[in-house]
């Protein structure tokens, strides 16, 4: 399979390289693209060295089967025609095409059948990766929707610095150092100091005083789930490095018990239930990973509830604090955590590619295998 990664030097691009290797994705040829500043940088993948090429207009993507694009919405829009011209499928991690009616918005555990819209004759050959907070929430909602239709969700997200990129993570670490040493705390990536603080704003405000991040959760969830579900979100930046957390209040058409929801989630693809309050204060336990890239994985049964510090770098969405909503007889409340660089971005993109590979024998009739 001939693969290209646009934005190879960014946090998601680097994670894509790790995940492709971990999951032994069949990469025959690999090309890395980036800005003029990144061009010439070398990275290792499966024992070979690859040099980042400068992204330019033209025929660079001739022969490419799948292009993972994670360089921002403006780059996606500008280069989409170049990327897909010769038949490559573009899996885009930006918001550029998410609400385009001709572009499927895919979380493989929920709506992998929508991929066909992009790959069929006359399709745009673009598949959009949803927003990270939407993905983490939607993976949890599917199992509940299968029990009873979800009417509405209130969600508060607690989003780590990594959601703003690798430079934001570095800034947060530097802010902690500055604060501890009594130095002036400087900020650039965030509107205010994030260390020892919470910022109840992610992205810009709209006319209705919701931020773009919050509106993404509303619109994207409806598109992915093909549902009239109503989502009201408050998105908060928190001073943790990696992995996002979300508190969900879910109202269903029929009342559900916590036991029903817990059982459904325990069987859901891509979900692990961590709902064991009796383990409060006990040592966190891990097991050996199934691949050489990750040294250990959390043992869900040993956690009282999911916490981002301990779940960074993992693949699943972890769910706990499952309980009846005291303010709504048809309500269920829960807490979930997911690594937004992996499942919220790079892993979801690779899972889309795996679905494509399993469903279609010939991806790019113009490519040379």
Which residues are known catalytic residues?
132, 244
Angle at 173 between CA 171 and CA 174, to 5 degrees: 65
Q: How far apart are CA 294 and CA 312, in angstroms?
A: 11
Q: Is there a contact between 221 and 232 (Cβ–Cβ < 8 Å)?
A: no
Q: How far apart are CA 199 and CA 307, in angstroms?
A: 19
Q: How far apart are CA 47 and CA 285, in angstroms?
A: 32
The encoded tokens of residue 66 equal 């799948």
Do you know the residue count of the chain? 369
């Amino acid at each position: 399979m001939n693969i290209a990664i646009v934005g190879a030097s960014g946090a998601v691009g680097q994670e894509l390289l790790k995940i492709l290797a971990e999951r032994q994705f069949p990469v025959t040829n690999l090309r890395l693209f980036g800005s003029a500043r990144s061009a010439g940088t070398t990275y290792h993948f499966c024992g070979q060295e690859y040099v980042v090429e400068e992204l330019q207009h033209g025929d660079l993507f001739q022969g490419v089967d799948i292009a993972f694009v994670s360089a921002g919405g403006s780059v996606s829009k500008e280069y989409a025609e170049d990327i897909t011209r010769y038949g490559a499928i573009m899996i885009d991690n930006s918001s550029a095409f998410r609400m385009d009616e001709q572009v499927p918005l895919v979380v493989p555990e929920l709506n992998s059948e929508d991929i066909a819209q992009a790959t069929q004759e006359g399709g745009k050959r673009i598949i959009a990766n949803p927003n990270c907070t939407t993905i983490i929430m939607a993976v949890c909602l599917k199992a509940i929707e299968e029990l009873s239709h979800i009417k509405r969700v209130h969600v508060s997200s607690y989003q780590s610095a990594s959601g703003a990129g690798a430079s934001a993570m570095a800034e947060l670490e530097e802010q902690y150092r500055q604060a501890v040493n009594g130095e002036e705390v400087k900020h650039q990536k965030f509107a205010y100091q994030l260390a020892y603080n919470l910022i109840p704003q992610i992205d810009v405000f709209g006319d209705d005083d919701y931020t773009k991040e919050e509106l993404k959760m509303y619109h994207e969830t409806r598109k992915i789930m093909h549902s009239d579900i109503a989502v009201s979100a408050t998105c908060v930046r928190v001073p943790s490095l990696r992995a996002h957390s979300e508190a969900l209040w879910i109202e269903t058409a029929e009342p559900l018990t916590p036991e029903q929801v817990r059982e459904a989630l325990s069987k859901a693809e891509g979900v692990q239930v961590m709902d064991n309050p009796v383990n409060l204060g006990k040592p966190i336990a891990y097991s050996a990973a199934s691949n050489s890239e990750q040294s250990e994985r959390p043992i869900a049964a040993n956690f009282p509830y999911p916490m981002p510090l301990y779940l960074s770098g993992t693949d699943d969405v972890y769910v706990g604090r499952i309980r009846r909503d005291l303010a709504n007889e048809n309500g269920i409340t829960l807490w979930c955590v997911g690594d937004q660089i992996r499942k919220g971005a790079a892993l979801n993109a690779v899972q889309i590619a795996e679905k494509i590979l399993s469903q279609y024998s010939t991806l790019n009739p113009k490519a040379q295998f």
